[in-house]
């Protein structure tokens, strides 16, 4: 793996024949379109929240359905951890 990385580095740093006009200092910049448009007129935190969560999202109304068997497994594992810490 290390040998492949070293060879790849050498290949990337070796100039190709017929490319005398291209130097290492040549920079090619390609425009990138954003996935979502920027939010204008809001703070950074508000913009981040608006881009992350859908319209009308409210953290107070989130419903989580838990499997009772998984809850019991979690409680038992926490009890065992607490008991082991007490030793």
Whether the full predicted model's pTM is greater than 0.95, yes or no, is: no
Separation CA 55–CA 67 (nearest Å):
29
56: left (phi over 0), alpha (psi -120 to 50) or beta: left
Which pLDDT value is given to residue 58?
A: 78
Kindly report, residue by residue over 30-74, the tens digit of the pLDDT: 777 767 666 677 788 887 877 787 777 777 887 888 999 999 999
Separation CA 35–CA 15 (nearest Å):
36
């Amino acid at each position: 793996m290390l040998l492949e990385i070293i060879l790849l580095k050498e290949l990337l740093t070796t100039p190709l024949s017929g490319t005398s006009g291209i130097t290492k200092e040549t920079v090619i910049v390609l425009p990138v379109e954003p996935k979502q448009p920027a939010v204008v007129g809001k703070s950074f935190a508000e913009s981040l929240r608006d881009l992350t969560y859908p319209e009308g999202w409210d953290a107070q109304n989130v419903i989580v359905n838990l499997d009772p068997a998984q809850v019991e497994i979690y409680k038992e594992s926490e009890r065992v951890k607490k008991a082991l810490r007490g030793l």
